[in-house]
Amino acid sequence: MAKFKPGLTPPNKYAEKSLLTKLLVAINTDDGEEDYDTTWYPNGFGSNQITMGNDNTGSCDAGFRFVRPSIPNNAKITKAVLQVKAAVNSTKRPKYLVKGAKEVASNTFAAGARPSQRAKTTASVAWDIAENWVQDTWYETPDIKAVIQEILDQAEYTGKALALVIEDNVSTANHYENIYDFNSGQANAARLILTFGPNI
């Protein structure tokens, strides 16, 4: 991958120049819902919606894969957030953990390659929903830069793809959110916003 080339400022010191990139889910099998650590739904469970949290039967998790991040190999992530779009109005209060798939080149999700079957990053970020969600509104996780950096810091990381998982974190029964799946239209699918600068 290309080296990151920061700008110069007098007297010839490196500037902390930050770049912003937005990654999108690109195909239908790159997002979906896993129910109870057993069943993968690439279109979400129903109505092209992904349920995240506790649906009163058990935990529902979500997986998202982003291809070709094109992040320079000496870059330092300064901020990262995952954004999802609410598919319904909600007053629920689920609790989540955001983790990364600890893989050098994440493959797409499938029945035999579900989120629960992937090795995960040591780093994780809690995301407790504390506000009502409004349909067709974007919501974002807290900063998950530690999760992304752990993926990038793998010695054999290829830059081909990375995957994230939102896991239910012991939400109270019947507390969950519904978000749009890629199959509802790419414009509705989850997106990963990265800010990075030189690692100098």
Q: Is 87 in contact with 190 (CB distance < 8 Å)?
A: no
Cα–Cα distance for residue pair 22/80, rounded to 1 Å: 10
pLDDT values of the chain reduced to their tens digit, one per residue, 200 residues: 333 344 433 343 444 557 888 999 999 999 999 999 999 999 998 899 999 999 999 999 999 999 987 776 567 899 999 999 999 999 999 999 999 999 999 999 999 999 999 999 999 999 999 999 999 999 999 999 999 999 999 988 888 999 999 999 999 999 999 999 999 999 999 999 999 876 64
110-143: burial string, b at 16+ Cβ within 10 Å, e else: eeebbbeebebbebbbebebeeebeeeeebebee
Domains plus CATH for the chain? 15-198 (2.60.120)
Cβ atoms within 10 A of the Cβ of 88, count? 15
